[in-house]
Amino acid sequence: MGAVSSVLPFSSFWNSYRPFDALPDELLVLIFEHVGKLLIGRPPIACLRVSKRWRAIAQTTPRLWSSISLYGQHPLRGLESLIALSLSAPLNLDLDVAGDATYPGTACHPWRAVQVANVVAENMHRVARLQLRFHPHQASLFDNVLSSTAPILDEVVLMCGGVVDLDLDAPGLRRLEVDRMQLRQWDLSAFPLLSELCLRSVDLELPELHSIISSLQRLETLVLDEGSVQASWDGLAHSVTADWSHAFLRRLVITNAFGGSVLGLFLLKLPLADLEHFELTFDPFTEYTSTMSSVVDTLFIVLKPTSIRVWRTKDKDKIWHVQLDDPRRSIAFPQRVGGPIISTVLEAAARSVRKIFADDAFCNQIVRRHAKDALPEFQYFEELEFIRDAKGRLPSRANEALEACLEVSQRD
């Protein structure tokens, strides 16, 4: 009995002692923020249940509660409580009232979607980033949100919402992403600081694209992902004569785009030589030989690369990449259409390219085969270390060239 009584004080001390309680408040806040990042931006609510001190620190740190996610049928009171805890901190809202199409029961009930829209509209003056995902039939519920005054709004992401009017009074907006939906008016001049525009699965007319670029004097990044660029005869004539020289693009990413002939015209009109980053990726289902050939040809006409590098990814998809002078300027396409596109690349390369680098034996073989037909008078260079055979041996011609290089280096 004496032994047990002597252990009890130590046991009581051990149960009451929490090592994390000895940490300073500032370090605990950093830990809470890190936990929130691991939870994909959700507030670290679990930290409230550890101790009274943790709860007190978390509840008096508004920025911990400023990133808020709401999905489907999650309780609305959670959104209101988190906004209250964030006090006056800028809000980062990620709201999904559409739910999962695979599970119809996950969507918000109409009355809850209305409440979510009302709560957001009431707090738009504090929102710095807004991401909304809703069904087309719910679009009208967010009219007040998309026409609010948002003085500190920096980024907007709109997803799956049919056709909407974007009438925000947000002079500080810098990034806009539109995913699988349309804006009724593409005149974005109300956002003078907009520097990044991302359009995913959006179908545009060429005049609309011209209007976007014309109205955005600071647009530096344009992403066109899995959409299409079309033009009627009138629109095509207007776009040919329109002035595109005012474009200030520095980064252009085009992924799996359709309408290659119009896209080629768009690229031809843009001042591509000023681009710091250009990336063009072909989808395996686009019409490569008939439409994308004009796009590739246009790139070589405008950019005038002096060298290209060809390589493949090592994954099972075997994506080919053609780098134009700079690693930040590249074309990518699946291996299944590698032959036709390589032929197009080599034909276009004959104008200005003086060096071709192939990163492995297979790329070297394909490039050499098509170069023999497409470029009979073309001076072809290659990196010696990348033309080894399957057993790692260099061909005799490469050995001779390597020995010649060594002799020159020894003389120097």
Domain hosting residue 43, numbered range: 15-65
Q: What is the model's pLDDT at position 173?
A: 97
Stretch 23-46: mean pLDDT, rounded? Answer: 73
In a domain, 173, yes or no: no
Nearest-angstrom CA–CA distance, 248 and 85: 41
Residue 412's SS3 state is coil
Burial class (CB in 10 A: 0-12, 13-18, 19+), 370: buried
Contacts 24+ apart (CB under 8 A), 242-247: 242/207, 242/210, 242/269, 244/210, 244/213, 244/269, 244/270, 244/271, 245/271, 246/213, 246/214, 246/217, 247/213, 247/219, 247/271
Q: How do residues 99-156 score in pLDDT, each as one tens digit?
A: 765 455 556 667 778 888 999 999 999 999 999 998 888 889 999 999 999 999 999 9
Question: Nearest 5 degrees, angle CA 156-CA 157-CA 161?
Answer: 125
Token couple for 193: 């600081």
Nearest-angstrom CA–CA distance, 150 and 126: 7
Helical ranges in 154-246 per DSSP H: 206-215, 233-241
Structural contact between residues 220 and 250, judged by C-beta atoms closer than 8 angstroms: yes
Residue 25's SS3 state is helix
Q: Is the pLDDT confidence value at 390 over 60?
A: no
In a domain, 43, yes or no: yes
In a domain, 410, yes or no: no
Stretch 364-387: mean pLDDT, rounded? Answer: 52
Stretch 239-243: mean pLDDT, rounded? Answer: 65
Q: Is the pLDDT confidence value at 4 over 50?
A: no
In a domain, 113, yes or no: no
Helices 25-38 and 52-59 sit at what angle, rounded to 10 degrees? 80
Nearest-angstrom CA–CA distance, 284 and 256: 8
State CA 269 to chain mean position distance: 24
Q: What share of the chain is helix, strand, coil (3-state, %, to 5)?
A: 45, 20, 35
How far does the chain reach from its first CA to its final CA, in angstroms?
92
H or E element, residue 277: strand 277-281
Q: Alpha carbon of 249 to those of 7, 102, 139, 278, 298: distances in Å?
A: 73, 39, 31, 10, 17
Structural contact between residues 255 and 226, judged by C-beta atoms closer than 8 angstroms: yes
* Count of domains observed in the chain: 1
In a domain, 36, yes or no: yes
More confident residue, 7 or 327: 327
In a domain, 235, yes or no: no
Q: What is the model's pLDDT at position 30?
A: 84
Token couple for 353: 């390219």
Q: For a pLDDT cut of 90, what percent of the chain falls above it?
A: 18
> Where would I find the beta strands (DSSP E) of 97-174?
127-133, 155-164
Q: How do residues 300-323 score in pLDDT, each as one tens digit?
A: 888 888 888 888 887 777 788 888
Say what the pTM is: 0.78
Q: How do residues 263-296 score in pLDDT, each as one tens digit?
A: 777 887 777 777 888 888 876 555 555 567 778 8
State CA 294 to chain mean position distance: 25
Q: What is the model's pLDDT at position 301?
A: 83
Confidence of residue 59 (pLDDT cuts 50, 70, 90): confident
